[in-house]
Structure 1
Amino acid sequence: MIKCILPKGLFCCFIMVSFILSCSSGDDPNGDDDALTVDSIEGFYTGSLELTLSGDDITVPVSLTVNETSTNKFAGDYFETNDFMACCSTNGKDGTFNFDYDPATMAIENFIIRVDFNIDPTNPCTGTYTGSGSIERNGNANQLVAQIIVDDCNVSSTPAVLNLTQLGGS
């Protein structure tokens, strides 16, 4: 038989403290441990825009700079390169974008990219890409995936997938 040397009240307190310390926020199945914060969404993203034209699969390199403009609303610069340099414009960027983010579902809504390709100022190419998607954790970085419709001077109502990974993770 083991004899307890702690007084009964102190023993109960020790058990309660041990129980409390053994719990973690990750034990709550309804917790928001995986929810993305504004700080973790903001940053630099790079990847591709994938679409099919005339039966050919096309992959266009893309990068975004994502900044919060107001609560759960984000915007920034759009580049059709992976190095945050304009490919098709003399403006220093190929366009701008904005989207709404729902932290409860990690959904991107009202995603709009406005392109302004103006290498030839006498024949500018503008367009709007619209859609929706999500931002989710993928390892140590965020993955932004959106299904969009591309409309510009080269294509009309063409479905595409934007697939970007946040640089550096957070």
Structure 2
Amino acid sequence: MANSRFLKKPLLSLICFVCILSCSSNDDSGDSDDSPENAAIEGFYTGSIAITIDGNDITVPMSLIVNMASTNKFAGDFFETNGFTPCCSSNPQDGTFNFDYNPETMALTNFIIRVDFNIDPNTPCTGLYTGEGTLDTTGNANRLVAQMNVDDCNVANTPAVFTLTKVSELN
């Protein structure tokens, strides 16, 4: 009996020591700051719209200023130039947009661009571009790639691919 009493104290001390070590260990689940879940979507993006009109393949420059509207929802300004200035409007932008983002699948859903080309007040050109896409974080760049349906005063129900690369963060 006397020997078991002396063994209990060191054993109890060892168990407490192991518990303390396990509780104070760094809980690193393997997630890094640059994982897809933590990819910063907000920023300035430039790229192009690839579309076929009347049998001709056309590439149109475009840029977006992407802001977070709420959790996993983004919105901002659309420009049909790659310089963040309107090409076809007396407004400060050529349109506005919004989309939802799923960080687990990196999917862009409910992507809607509302264009308002009103350079000529007598013949305004409004439209709606709708579609879905993905956020590609290959390499060091964030790239938005979306398959859109373009419907405005120039084309109706025309498929297009929008490809934009993040060029800088929002200030």
Fold in common (TM above 0.5) = yes
Aligned to 2:82: 82
Give the letter for the 1:66 counterpart.
V
Count the aligned residue pairs. Answer: 149
Per-residue CA deviation, residues 54-81 of structure 1 (Å, 9 max, x unaligned), is: 1110000000000011111000000000
* CA shift digits 1:97-132 (9 cap, x unpaired): 000001110000000000000000111000000000
Which portions of structure 1, spanning 4 or more consecutive aligned residues, are displaced by more than 4 angstroms? Answer: none
| Partner SS, residue 141 of structure 1 | coil
Larger-Rg structure: 2
In the alignment, structure 2 segments of 5+ residues that lack a partner are 1-13
2:37/2:104 contact within 8 Å kept: no
Using the size of structure 1 for normalisation, the TM-score is: 0.79
Counterpart CA distance in 2 for 1:138 and 1:117 is: 34
Alignment of 1:16-165 (within 5 A): 28=30, 31=31, 34-37=35-38, 40-165=40-165
Query: 1:169, 1:74 → 2: CA distance?
Result: 14
Task: State the distance in 2 between where 1:75 and 1:46 align.
Answer: 15
State the identity as a percent: 61
Q: Tell me the CA shift for residue 139 of structure 1.
A: 1.4
Structure 2 Cα separation of the partners of residues 148 and 77 of structure 1: 17
Q: Check the 8 A contact 1:140/1:169 in 2, yes or no.
A: no
State the one-letter code of the partner of 1:141. A
> 1:120-156 CA distances to partner (integer Å, 9 max, x unpaired)?
0111000000000011213111010000000000000
Normalising by structure 2, we get a TM-score of: 0.79
Unaligned 5+ runs, structure 1: 1-8
